[in-house]
Amino acid sequence: MEYMGNRNFWEQKFLSRPDSQLPPETILIEDAAFFKEKGSVLDLACGDGRNALFLAGNGFEVTAVDFSEAALRRLKRFAEKERLTVYTQQMDLCCEENFDSLGKFDMIVCNHYRLLYKTAMQLKKHLTKNGVLWINGFAECPQDNPAIRQSDLIVKEDYLQIGYQLEDEKEYQVGEHKFIRLTLKTEGADC
């Protein structure tokens, strides 16, 4: 079964999770120290908000979007518990028109979700001058999780082909799993 774009799969997944948060992505914690100070962040495919909440807790102004209602409900509950503000919007990242109302951000983060070309293109309009697109995810299909397919892997060329400039990249391994983190900029930002 194709699981990544399957809304029902994610609804069920978030509905069946225990009432506790997962820790934020380790490499995001490391990188956050270098992000534009206390800027605005858009977290794409935010899930139940482990990264959005981490960034909000560290002084960033965070907007988090996902197509799963259950995920966003959990995010809001965690945010209330921690007395943090995270603006949320339920939206399907595959529909370009959904981005119209979002505005511009100093940083856009996308963790463990492969953006469509058209979405990555669209995001250029939503970055401020010197804004950064931060992408992290699997670089190779994990042997122990057949749900992650080739089409879910993060591919640097996807972004370079459509005019993003690579600021930094890091390939790293956690146990048997290989990941890649990209930070990208675009000349088009804020023009």
Q: What are the residues binding ligand SAM (CB under 6 A)?
A: 4-5, 10, 25, 45-47, 50-51, 66-68, 71, 92-94, 111-113
Q: Which amino acid is at 113?
A: Y
* Residue 105 CA: distances (Å) to CA of 24, 142, 166, 172, 189: 20, 32, 18, 27, 10
The residue whose Cβ lies closest to ligand SAM is 47
Please state the closest distance from residue 157 (CB atom) to ligand SAM, in A: 21
53 closest CA partner among 105, 8, 88: 88
Q: Which is nearer to ligand SAM, 15 or 160 (CB)?
A: 15
Q: Which is nearer to ligand SAM, 20 or 191 (CB)?
A: 20
Please state the closest distance from residue 98 (CB atom) to ligand SAM, in A: 9
The rounded Cα 36 to chain-centroid distance in angstroms is 17
Please state the closest distance from residue 177 (CB atom) to ligand SAM, in A: 13
- The burial class, CB within 10 Å (0-12 / 13-18 / 19+), for 23 is exposed
Please state the closest distance from residue 104 (CB atom) to ligand SAM, in A: 20
